[in-house]
Structure 1
């Protein structure tokens, strides 16, 4: 695959993991955070990434060469305050958090510089991924609303995996693709519970609010997708998980990569599902082999909800469903 994706990653993290796969303990340093994990998977899928971020403090000095080593075209705004990070210990087989530091909120001038930098790069890319901050307090939600509006108005396709106020903000401007988990929908009050009828209604609500295509992940259950007015279950082979984290970010990255290469949305969702499924079989977020992911795509199916074909739904009918009419 080839394609140019701009990834907006305002608050990257330094991840320190203590592991012991054999007799001696090991310490691993990596860049992390949602945008970094998404960018890593896009590169794994053969896509080209421009990663726009802000770095500062001692952690920022360590992060910069690590980010360059990821194979991305790194664009940086230097910030006065420091970046965040965490230390995890998984020597006992499970991940134990030792310490986590979110970092400081970006200042007004830093936000202006980062917005201008990322907007310029996004206007040159067919697809932009707006990744969320590692803590909602670090970047105001309205910045995402402006981003989605400016990119969309100039022909860009905006891909997001957001929740809370940041999701509401981008919906106000409209996005081409939204991925959200069922837990996030429940937490945000967009679904009462994990019942499929509730989640299906939430799909229509999100579409009516501004998301052209929507995928709701459901942990170990098939994801639900609303594409072209039809609701599908995303069915795929079950794989044993080594680390269940990171599937959603890998799915979002797979969708963005295919779209940037000129692929259609259904192929993009199937590729994203394959990337997410394969990622959980590995230790390392946003990682995966291109050949393995490509082999898995053929096993992913979009099955009409209820197992039967559905008629194409008009925009007016979507609005009626969202309103409960």
Structure 2
């Protein structure tokens, strides 16, 4: 008797794969809000780009392993909060304390009450972080490189070497970095995702207009990244997949908070890479994760079922060399 065949698997619901996430300095966040009854609510979370990417990977049924430094009382708290959200840690114990902030949103907008910065890692701490990320990513096969939230924490060459070492050893690298670390890249990256603001700040283009962003994408070829994706806030993202120029159009929603949408997009790209999705479905999952995030409170949040439903509604439109849609 012939054995029954398994149904086709598009990759979205495969057994979760581990993904290494480099977080140069996880932080703590305290947000004060006022509820409908006029009562104050205080929310305490782990934070930072690497953590927000890892949180969304968990929501997408992935298994992130976050490699980052932890030190002092703040480090103890950040570790506990990250683990409570299902994030596995590869912690590097350091002498400095993890930074963080207190934001007041009772008036609607974010007001910075207090902020403390993370110190520069010394060379031994940086070496320990490098080796932790290197060996973890070699095991998982997929890595996300997130950047530094203030200059000087790590030398730009840290990111250059790590991307090359991982890429040359078969690891699929998704990078979401900017500034000097971005300029230092010389290859090894499978997917480079940055925002149009970072593109402008880096001097790659002058505005968020489609033609300017496309010029900036071409300038980013100097990084050696094989695929590029530029998020543009409420405008469709622009991508270069190999030599194919595309516009990525998710459904438009009224945003509750744009913060965290880019990190959610990065997480979606990484999960898609881990599951072996084709380039178009990779873009769809990334765009859907970002689109759902803007409808919610909290960074790096959203559910797999909802994101998958939105991914089916994402349109990938080919553009010609001048950035005009191809019929």
CA distance in 2, matches of 1:271, 1:292: 11
Q: Which runs of 4 or more aligned residues in structure 1 lie more than 6 Å from their structure 2 counterparts after TM superposition?
A: none
Q: State whether structure 2 residue 147 is matched by structure 1 residue 132.
A: yes
Deviation of 1:231 after TM superposition, in Å, equals 0.9
Deviation of 1:8 after TM superposition, in Å, equals 0.5
Q: Which has the higher helix share?
A: 1
1:64-213 equivalence runs, <5 A? 64-170=79-185, 172-213=186-227
Root-mean-square deviation (CA), in Å?
1.2
CA distance in 2, matches of 1:130, 1:78: 20
Counterpart in the other structure of 2:228: 214
Q: How many residues align?
A: 308
CA distance in 2, matches of 1:33, 1:112: 21
CA distance in 2, matches of 1:110, 1:284: 31
Deviation of 1:139 after TM superposition, in Å, equals 1.5
Secondary structure at the counterpart of residue 241 of structure 1: coil
Q: Pick which of 16-25 and 201-210 moved more.
A: 201-210
TM-score (normalizing by structure 2): 0.91
Counterpart in the other structure of 2:303: 289
TM-score (normalizing by structure 1): 0.92
Are the equivalent residues in 1 in contact too, given 2:165–2:188 (CA < 8 A)? no
Are the equivalent residues in 2 in contact too, given 1:102–1:134 (CA < 8 A)? no
Q: Deviations over 1:249-274 (max 9, x none)?
A: 00000000011012122211110100
Deviation of 1:208 after TM superposition, in Å, equals 4.7
Deviation of 1:209 after TM superposition, in Å, equals 3.4
Secondary structure at the counterpart of residue 94 of structure 1: coil
Structure 1, unaligned stretches of length 5 or more? 310-325
Counterpart in the other structure of 1:307: 325
Deviation of 1:203 after TM superposition, in Å, equals 1.4
Are the equivalent residues in 1 in contact too, given 2:293–2:299 (CA < 8 A)? yes
Q: Deviations over 1:153-197 (max 9, x none)?
A: 100011011111111122x13311011111211111111333322
Deviation of 1:285 after TM superposition, in Å, equals 0.2
Residues 184, 91 of structure 1: CA spacing in aligned structure 2 closer, same or farther, 3 A cutoff? Answer: same
Q: Pick which of 23-32 and 277-286 moved more.
A: 23-32
